Amino acid sequence: MSKPLVECVPNFSEGRDPKIIEAITNAIKETPGCTLLDVDPGKSTNRTVVTFVGDTTAIVNGAFNATKVAFLLIDMTKHQGAHPRMGALDVCPFVPVRDVTMEDCIECAKQFGKRCADELGLPIFLYEEASNRDYRKQLKQIRNGEYEGLEEKLKDPKWAPDFGPAKFIPSYGASVTGARNFLIAYNVNVLGTKEQAHRIALNVREAGRSEKEPGRLKMVKGIGWYVDEYNMAQVSMNLDNYKVTAVHTVFEECSKDARELNLAVTGSEIVGLVPLDAILMAADYYIKQENLFIIDEGQKVRLAINRLGLSACSPFDPKKRIIDYMVQEDLKVAEPLASMTVRSFIEIVGARTTAPGGGSVAANIAALGSALGAMAGWMTYGKKKFEDLDSTMRELIPPLDNLQNIQTFVNISLQMLLLKRAMKDLIPMIDADTKGFNEYVESMSVKGPQRDQAVLNALKKVVNIPLNTMRISNSIWPTMLKMAECCNINSKSDFDIGVKALELGVWGALQNVNINLVDMKDEKFKAEVQAECKVIWENTVKCSEKALAITNSRSS
């Protein structure tokens, strides 16, 4: 079972003294349950952005421990830097990553704020999702006036902290904490002046120059500044929702404005970590723009890094900068069976335990069947011997709703891509089946009047897991049939094994559905599932026989 994961991204007003930065980050590393992912200091900004993850308890402890160190070591009376700030710990957002809700993160922020107030006597403000007051919900509203204006601001009852005293602490200032969605701190490098970079920022940021003259990009905040250590200006932005305004959109818009000012753009910079999804969105954009043929995830990441110039200021290492890769070790917790070696999986299936059993094995076999189908496709594509099949393969794929963003040019590979996606969709079902069975067993121990409903809900989940294996497998039969007609016939044995493996995976999942329906009390649910299973199994048998007939006819 995967553990809940919260990301915390505290920004400390110290980017020049390595001893202070190390003391702060050590406080996080030494907190049980916290994993430090990234430390990004900036000399010109005199600010360090730290990223770490943990469960809802550990994350609060880690943030508090780091704040204690910042309270002791940072002196705001001496602080100067290019970035707006109001406290030693300036802002401390909590971000949902996995198996946690925004409400969970709001609670983390409130617990953190209360501890800072109760134990350290610090003034703490809530922002974003944790605040319910519109006039002080955004960070810029709370930070307006910055550290220099904080003493007077705290005298106004409207600006009483959410936690702690309305008291100015010269050496510390005040902090802001809250909950938000994933924010990307993103800078575009400009060979120009601070004023020119700021002019571009005014053009693109949502607030623009004024209410009457808004900017072009939604959910984007931005300013222009000059970075001495880089010897260039930057358009420095926060992307509050990269799915509304993507990283590549921001880069292209800034580049367009820079060209109009006869300025050169020399790449860009992501501060802290970035979701893999944001990088892949950029890759898909450039793939479409340039009519490229790239499917491999690693190659897509490399393309995005290159086109956005993410290594212009410092090397962009995907393993250290993409949060999905940083927490990949947790996959062993989230999917322990799928992460095992083949030997270990076989041995645990053969052990004296009820799970993992047939359901996990069925999902495994179905995933292998899909993988062999993809393999046959890759053994065809890109080989000079089979160039005459290119035009045929490009016509094989009907429009796919979830692949609309990939241009027609790469349709040659969509058969393989669909098979690979199905393969990846089936892998989690290996663990899901065992997890669902264990939860069903746990529901049997529930006491009182809630027991019957708890058992029914758990049993429905147990039924739906192998049913989903059947659905995913069934969805790729059209692709397998087309692949049978066009794939490299020298891969016939591999492909045929894949066909039979996919069939067996569906059959095995069906057996699990049927055995779990025996105790199902909801007759309507039972009838609907049985009817769907009948359709899927009949189609599976028909498609399996047809696929093998096609390859046999091609080899004779």
Q: What backbone torsions phi and psi does residue 352 show, to the nearest 5 degrees?
A: -80, 65
Helix axes 358-378 and 477-486, enclosed angle (nearest 10)? 40
Position 123, amino acid = P
Strands 232-239 vs 47-54: parallel, antiparallel or unpaired? unpaired
Q: Respond yes or no on whether the N-terminal peptide bond of residue 356 is cis (omega within 30° of 0).
A: yes
- Tokens encoding 99: 């198996």
Taking alpha carbons only, the member of 431, 458, 463 closest to residue 446 is 458
Nearest to 175 by CA among 226, 206, 130, 133: 130
Which positions ≥6 away from 5 have C-beta within 8 Å? 53, 54, 55, 97, 98, 99, 100, 327, 330
**Which token pair is 242?**
């990269």
Residue 434's CB: how many other CB atoms inside 10 A?
A: 23
Secondary structure class of 159 (helix, strand, coil): helix
C-alpha distance from residue 505 to each of 473, 490, 512 (Å): 8, 24, 11
Distance CA 437, CA 356 (A): 9
Cα–Cα distance, 523 to 517 (Å, whole number): 10
Distance CA 343, CA 368 (A): 16
Cα separation of 122 and 131, whole Å? 18
For residue 457, give the H/E element and its range.
helix 451-475
Paired tokens of 332: 């062993």
Task: Name 148's Cβ contacts closer than 8 Å, sequence gap at least 6.
Answer: none
Active-site amino acid positions: 83, 433
**CA–CA distance, 359 with 458 (Å, rounded to integer):** 16
Distance CA 56, CA 100 (A): 8
User: Rounded to whole angstroms, how far apart are CA atoms 441 and 455?
Assistant: 9
DSSP helix/strand/coil, 94: strand
Measured distance CA(130)–CA(425) in Å, rounded: 35
**Do 152 and 163 contact (CB within 8 A), yes or no?**
no
